[in-house]
Amino acid sequence: MESGTSSPQPPQSDLLDVFPQKGLEPGDIVVLVLYFLFVLAVGLWSTVKTKRDTVKGYFLAGGDMVWWPGLFSVLMLAWIFLPIYIAGQVDMYAGAIFIQQSLHLDLYLAIVGLLAITAVYTVAGGLAAVIYTDALQTLIMLIGALTLMGYSFAAVGGMEGLKEKYFLALASNRSENSSCGLPREDAFHIFRDPLTSDLPWPGVLFGMSIPSLWYWCTDQVIVQRTLAAKNLSHAKGGALMAAYLKVLPLFIMVFPGMVSRILFPDQVACADPEICRKICSNPSGCSDIAYPKLVLELLPTGLRGLMMAVMVAALMSSLTSIFNSASTIFTMDLWNHLRPRASEKELMIVGRVFVLLLVLVSILWIPVIQASQGGQLFIYIQSISSYLQPPVAVVFIMGCFWKRTNEKGAFWGLISGLLLGLVRLVLDFIYVEPRCDQPDERPVLVKSIHYLYFSMILSTVTLITVSTVSWFTEPPSKEMVSHLTWFTRHDPVVQKEQAPPAAPLSLALSQNGMPEASSSSRVQFEMVQENMSKTHSCDMTPKQSKVVKAILWLCGIQDKGKEELPARPEPVIVSLEENPLVKTLLDVNLIFCVSCAIFIWGYFA
């Protein structure tokens, strides 16, 4: 029976129209290729511009980055943990969905192509290349996403049209006797029912804030950028820029995704498992294709290629950051501990090889994510974060704000919290959430406790463990917590007596393969070694082929000869002082930014 209402109906798409209907045209391919070449040029330019032949230059961009590329910086300076593998693998899968479908390439072929471009300037340039290309790609992403937002709202009649048509966007093949595939009544609300909703408001307010605190305040990917800033004010400026950009995702990502359901309900909102499998190869649902579907169907030629570049930019930006940060942690914290006398050349090589290993792990993890994310990639990301990140965040907070926290308390807090989180993670992999039309026979621990509530439970268990163990064990000395907590950050600097300059000479002799000697004999022995090895050094240099030299240059390893001794490390000057005018300006922006966030939360609550 036809409805007599005159309200606009969303356009209907062909039932089994295999995603996507449109692909990239020659004009789009040209835009995409030009973008790739431009990004590679920027990345390789940064490898020449910046100092990358030292550990600090490669992993911290020489500690001389200005504030404007630090678009993804955070408000606090610290780091502690390494669960970045999952994030890298998730980003890889998300990008592969778009690339596979738009170019009709095999999933793994698309991934290998992306990794080849990403790895070139990450391995070659270090953090400097990552930051400069991130700054470029942020601009590209903003332009493309804002353009698509304009097209999306124009297609549905603005915000009012979105609110009206969204609840009418139903798949034509949906069973009338089933609630599967229906839009949620609270779709436009942030705070939802605490018991029956998909995102209960206590979990959003508290449970989600804990993993968020971990990511923005302790994750190496973010913190490494603040450590590369020139000073504290530059780091704050980058954090504020990131905070302003964080206002945009609601408008450039969430709302366009809802528009995609309105325009293509049979694909994006499919409810029948068999039809969903034919559309997007996932019987659980096809909500993951909402954004790329919108790009390929709505935008004209040229702009479609630009948005393809935007999607690839988002993927490459995340991957380069993750690869460089993971390499930093492995090289400086693990390898340096196993081989404390390792030379800078060895550390540089190890860091780059580890990036290549991460590339391999990322590819191998794709099928796991594809099988377990259940049609909603965001849910997969948040649930994994809620199981692994709260213990680290709690230990970090306790260490910063309670001077009584000690090593044993932190250790047992992490052990108890991570073991509990891993148990829930394994149960989630074993007992997959059933589809809408199937009974839920999962254990109570998995079925009844939302992952955001589990995040709160995990945080409480970790907090109790850290507090109890720290209280009943020996407290750390004042020297151990000096400058390492909020209350001791301004402690006076105690100058430690430095040994004579034998350490640099010892390192040089070690690199030359010579035996150890006393401090005085080291100086004399080095002088003899220098004079005797000049001819030998000249004989060895021509034997390096051009290919070997090119590889060494690409890795930032320069043969400086034996006549140059490693320079004595300059004393590190750490200052928390800020220009009063700049500090006031930053504080005002902080208050304004927080006010904007509170307003948006209140408006959509």
Taking the C-alpha atoms of residue 347 and residue 140, their distance in angstroms, rounded to an integer, is 34
Average pLDDT of the residues of the chain:
67
Secondary structure of residue 219 in the 3-state scheme: strand
The angle at the Cα of 332, spanning 327 to 334, to the nearest 5 degrees, equals 90
Q: What's CA 195's distance to the chain center, in Å?
A: 31
- The neighbour count for residue 182, using CB atoms within 10 Å, is 15
Taking the C-alpha atoms of residue 419 and residue 390, their distance in angstroms, rounded to an integer, is 12
Is 532 within the bounds of a domain?
A: no
**Cis preceding linkage at 20, omega within 30:** yes
Last residue of a domain, one of 342, 367, 392: 367
Kindly compute the dihedral angle of the four CA atoms of residues 75, 81, 86, 88, in this order, to the nearest 10 degrees.
60
Is 380 within the bounds of a domain?
A: no
Taking the C-alpha atoms of residue 113 and residue 170, their distance in angstroms, rounded to an integer, is 37
Last residue of a domain, one of 318, 339, 367: 367
Secondary structure of residue 302 in the 3-state scheme: coil
Q: What's CA 30's distance to the chain center, in Å?
A: 29
- Highest mean pLDDT among 235-244, 365-374, 583-592 belongs to 583-592
Q: What integer pLDDT is reported at residue 110 of this predicted model?
A: 56
Secondary structure of residue 228 in the 3-state scheme: coil
Tens-place pLDDT, residues 362-393: 666 655 555 554 445 566 667 777 888 889 88
Q: What integer pLDDT is reported at residue 481 of this predicted model?
A: 78
Q: What is the CA radius of gyration of the chain?
A: 27
Is 5 within the bounds of a domain?
A: no
Q: What integer pLDDT is reported at residue 320 of this predicted model?
A: 62
Q: Name the amino acid, one letter, at 445.
A: L
Rounded mean pLDDT, 547-551: 55
Taking the C-alpha atoms of residue 166 and residue 259, their distance in angstroms, rounded to an integer, is 7
Identify whether the C-beta of residue 525 lies closer than 8 Å to the C-beta of residue 509.
yes
Lowest mean pLDDT among 154-158, 216-220, 542-546: 542-546
Domain CATH number, residue 306:
1.20.1730.10
Tens-place pLDDT, residues 51-77: 444 333 333 333 333 322 223 333 333
Tens-place pLDDT, residues 105-121: 454 555 566 556 555 55
Looking up tokens 């309900």, which residue turns up?
A: 265
* Count of structural domains, the chain: 2
Q: What integer pLDDT is reported at residue 443 of this predicted model?
A: 83
Identify whether the C-beta of residue 215 lies closer than 8 Å to the C-beta of residue 388.
no
Is 424 within the bounds of a domain?
A: no
Tens-place pLDDT, residues 19-59: 445 555 677 677 777 776 776 676 566 555 544 443 333 33
Taking the C-alpha atoms of residue 174 and residue 180, their distance in angstroms, rounded to an integer, is 8
Nearest to 61 by CA among 74, 79, 43: 43
Is 111 within the bounds of a domain?
A: yes
Taking the C-alpha atoms of residue 122 and residue 58, their distance in angstroms, rounded to an integer, is 10
Is 31 within the bounds of a domain?
A: yes
pLDDT tier, 315 (very low <50, low <70, confident <90, very high otherwise): low
Residue 466 has pLDDT above 90, yes or no: yes
Residue 334 belongs to what domain range? Answer: 26-196+246-367
Nearest to 369 by CA among 579, 544, 191, 111: 111
Is 391 within the bounds of a domain?
A: no
Taking the C-alpha atoms of residue 15 and residue 171, their distance in angstroms, rounded to an integer, is 9
Last residue of a domain, one of 367, 397, 412: 367
Return the higher-pLDDT residue of 403 and 67. 403
Tens-place pLDDT, residues 191-211: 777 787 777 888 888 878 887
Is 117 within the bounds of a domain?
A: yes
Q: Where are the beta strands (DSSP E) in 412-513?
A: none
Residue 127 has pLDDT above 70, yes or no: no
